Chain A
Amino acid sequence: MIITCPFCGPRDSSEFVYREEGGRTRPDPASTDQAAWNAYVYERVNTAGDHEEIWQHSGGCRSHLRVLRNTVTHKILDVTLARETGKAEKPA
């Protein structure tokens, strides 16, 4: 599987580390809402299809990336620097 890093160009997926599901919002750190924290920490969508993810190019420029990957075909549909949006959502 080849992932095209926005900075480094196309690289083998072995250079990258999967971090987490993208598009998630951490609850307010001051919150004591256990249901909200439980949902944030443990609950995953487990999409079969296009899936937004956070990866890190740990064997390259070390940037965190927002990757849109199809979990059925493993096709990488889109890669952007996570820092460009400040969160995992795709820029408008």
Chain B
Amino acid sequence: MVDQLSPLTPVLRSGRYARDDHSVGVTLAEVQPGSIVQLSAWPGQQAGILAAIREVMGLFVPGGAGSGVATETKSAFGFAPGKFLVSDQEEGFSVAFADAVGPDAGTVTDLSHGRTVIRIAGPKAEWVLAKFFAVDFSEPALAVGSGISTVHHDIFAQIQRTGADQFDVYVFRSFARSFWNSLRHASEEVGYEVE
């Protein structure tokens, strides 16, 4: 298997960048899924896409607005009507989905090389993300597993809540380094640790 290259390599420096009182409010890390795939249903064909996600990944996505599910290694969430973003630590899922999603059901787009996934976790994760996105990140508004699509200064981003205080942010690969640096600066206030 070919090693994955990350656009964050020149700037990702592991370590603890704590506040004066040695506390850290968030942990930043890059998640490197082997597969990131966008699934889009033709009108009225959403059930076929949800069935394909169950078949290929074993994940049950309820299908309501923004609903999703996340495990240690897999995730899936709806980010638009009839559109879903799925990721897995294993490679090759776009091929599996191309077999499972017929041409009558919708389309499969492999985004594995087009997105970088940055994980922000910790008690201040909501606080730091709120500096970037005009979105309600509280748990009643964005439940665990749920995802959204939004923008940061007109740059598209998709965000999934993968834990009570953990979020995975999907950004364009070419934008990832800039976003990472912005995220570090925004996290300085609360102290942060880079994994």
Contact = CB atoms under 8 A, between A and B. Distances in A.
A61 B141 CA distance: 17
- Give the size range of A's interface with the partner: 10 to 19
Interface of A: 6-12, 14-15, 59-63, 81, 83
Contact of A9 (B79, B141, B154): B141
B96 interface: no
16 contacts: A7-B81, A9-B65, A9-B66, A9-B136, A9-B141, A10-B136, A11-B135, A14-B151, A59-B154, A59-B156, A60-B149, A60-B150, A61-B79, A61-B149, A63-B81, A83-B81
A62 B40 CA distance: 13
Interface residues of B, number: 17
B148 interface: yes
B134 A8 contact: no
Contacts of B79: 61
Nearest to B151: A59
A5 to B, nearest CB: 9
Contacts of B83: 61
A7 B156 CA distance: 17
A85 to B, nearest CB: 13
Contacts of B81: 7, 61, 63, 81, 83
